[in-house]
Structure 1
Amino acid sequence: MEGGSSKNFAATKTPDLEVLRKQLEEKSAKIEELKKQIEETKHLLENKKKKAPNQDQKEAFKKLCEKYNGMREEYNALFAKKSRKQETNDPI
């Protein structure tokens, strides 16, 4: 009789074990999905950090270009003025 009762005990516990196994598998799958999301987010943040200095560099480059163009225009204006003065003073 004990053999029969242990079979009944195992039979009643098997569905509980299956439920627990499924829950464990679901939780494991969720954990893996969260790990992937964490890694993806980490990579996105690293990429944004890398891009941020590029934006600053672009802004600095733009300012330098504007400064250069302003200085070049000033130089050309002064050079042209000097050239006209020399032309009027030195008749050929």
Structure 2
Amino acid sequence: MRRDLEQGLPRLPTYDDAEEEEDDRQALGKARTAYVTADDLDEEDAALDEFNALPADERLRRVVQHLRDEHHYCFWCKFTYPDDTMDGCPGLTEEDHD
């Protein structure tokens, strides 16, 4: 235990080093994050309202299709494929993956 104590941090975690880089401060949990409310959050989004009005199964189908088309990712395989052929993926639905 004595060795661990001597090998440990050379200063208290609350020590504030003015020369410490921002990345180090963030990694050590010392960075302060300022949250600002976005102005556009209060505006109506017709496309979002239309999407939310769809049944849950249709929303899921559209999200799965978007992931496949834009990111070559299969929600059911939990895998990102290198190209749009998605070789090895059995299909679009959960049942195809059983």
Instruction: Point out the structure with max Rg over C-alpha.
Output: 1
**Taking CA–CA contacts closer than 8 Å with sequence separation of 6 or more, which of the two structures ends up with the larger relative contact order?**
2
Q: Smaller-chain TM-score range?
A: under 0.3
- TM-score, normalized by length of structure 2? 0.19
Relative to total residues, which structure has the larger strand share, 1 or 2? Answer: 2
- TM-score, normalized by length of structure 1? 0.20
